[in-house]
Structure 1
Amino acid sequence: MKKIFLLTLIALGSFATMNAQEISKNALGLRLGDNDGFGGEISYQRGLGDNNRLELDLGWRNSNHIDAIKLAALYQWVWNIDGGFNWYVGAGGGLGSWSRDNDYYDDNDYDDSAAFAFVAGDIGIEYNFDIPLILSLDFRPELYFNSDDWRDNNLGPDLALGIRYQF
């Protein structure tokens, strides 16, 4: 127990002493990944300070006879690794809705649809170029509520590549 406490204390001290790189006030672009078919998201980041920001993502899905839309909001902390490389962590959640064409899954002539909510974590790495461009790679596990019949389970891992214009 003492070792775990000491390691936690060292990790928190390391986070507090890391140098933060000033992040852009605004960034707009795309976040392209695959969370059971969520292939694309329009992504907006708003800098709130020297090392924190808000990210809003509007995603859509149109595959496997399921249509869905979701809105995610995450608060992120950003730390500089070296030069233009940063890493970040965040937490947040969102809302969405889905509809399924049951003609594909069985012989019923009705469609299913519902709304859902989710909470999400986020961890990633990004590179700020000398031009106003950011490339990022992040992992966002999402825990869904009220996602009946759309997902086999309530956990959705989301790995995505982002490209954003800074202004």
Structure 2
Amino acid sequence: MKKIVLSAFMLLGLAFSAQAQDISKNALGLRLGDNDGFGGEISYQRGLGDNNRLELDLGWRNSNDVDAFKLAGLYQWVWNIDGGFNWYAGVGGGLGSWSYDHGGNKDSGSFFFAAGDIGIEYNFDIPLQLSLDIRPELYFNDDYRDDIGPDIALGIRYRW
């Protein structure tokens, strides 16, 4: 048991001490996934240092019955795996608004949520970034959603 615990701590230490490559100062694109109808998001990343950044995502939904938007903000740490291949993790939260209109039944409101984020990305030699991540979101609202929503998405961004 001691060997397993020691090995786990060594691997964790190695992961956090891995040298990160310089991340892009800016990246703008789309984050395409599915979380209760917020399938598409405009995504912006702003590099804050050699291995951390801020990500802002604006998602919206416009259907026959529900119109909604949400804004998410995450602080992320980025670690290099090899070359342009990185993994990242982050924490943050967001807020949003929704309105429902179906057959004369109308309702609206706002919500906020806490979020975590973990994913992988590849930065090509051209200014293109592809990513795949999961963002569990814990919603705080009585009417819209009051549970955890796993948001899995594919991102494509232009870097500069």
- How large is the Cα RMSD of the aligned pairs? 1.8
Find the partner of 2:119 among 108, 124, 136: 124
1-structure distance, mates of 2:81, 2:3: 27
Structure 1's unaligned 5+ residue stretches are 104-108
Structure 1 residues 143 and 7, CA gap change in structure 2 (3 angstroms)? farther
Where does 1:58-69 land on structure 2 (aligned, <5 Å)?
58-63=58-63, 65-69=65-69
2-structure distance, mates of 1:91, 1:8: 23
Partner residue of 1:21?
21
Quick check: 1:140 aligned with 2:142? Answer: no
Partner residue of 1:149?
143
Question: Which stretch shifts more, 2-11 or 135-144?
Answer: 2-11
Task: Give every structure 1 segment of 4 or more consecutive aligned residues whose post-TM-superposition deviation is greater than 2 Å.
Answer: 1-12, 148-151
Sequence identity percentage: 76
Structure 1 residues 93 and 4, CA gap change in structure 2 (3 angstroms)? farther
Question: Which stretch shifts more, 153-162 or 11-20?
Answer: 11-20
Quick check: 1:32 aligned with 2:27? Answer: no
2-structure distance, mates of 1:64, 1:4: 54
Structure 2's unaligned 5+ residue stretches are none
Partner residue of 1:85?
85
Partner residue of 1:57?
57
Structure 1 residues 17 and 97, CA gap change in structure 2 (3 angstroms)? same
DSSP-derived class of the 1:37 partner: coil
Partner residue of 2:110?
115
DSSP-derived class of the 1:38 partner: coil
* Aligned partner letter, 2:22: E
2-structure distance, mates of 1:3, 1:101: 59
Residue 8 of structure 1 and its aligned partner are, at CA, apart by 5.2
Retained in 2: the 8 A contact 1:81–1:87? yes
Please list the CA deviations of residues 118-164 of structure 1 after superposition, one character each: whole Å capped at 9, or x if unmatched: 00000111110110010111100000001x3333x511110111111
* Aligned partner letter, 2:110: A
TM-score (norm 1): 0.88
Retained in 1: the 8 A contact 2:111–2:144? no
Count of residues in correspondence between the two structures: 160
Quick check: 1:47 aligned with 2:40? Answer: no
Where does 1:89-108 land on structure 2 (aligned, <5 Å)?
89-103=89-103
Residue 7 of structure 1 and its aligned partner are, at CA, apart by 5.1
DSSP-derived class of the 1:6 partner: helix
TM-score (norm 2): 0.92
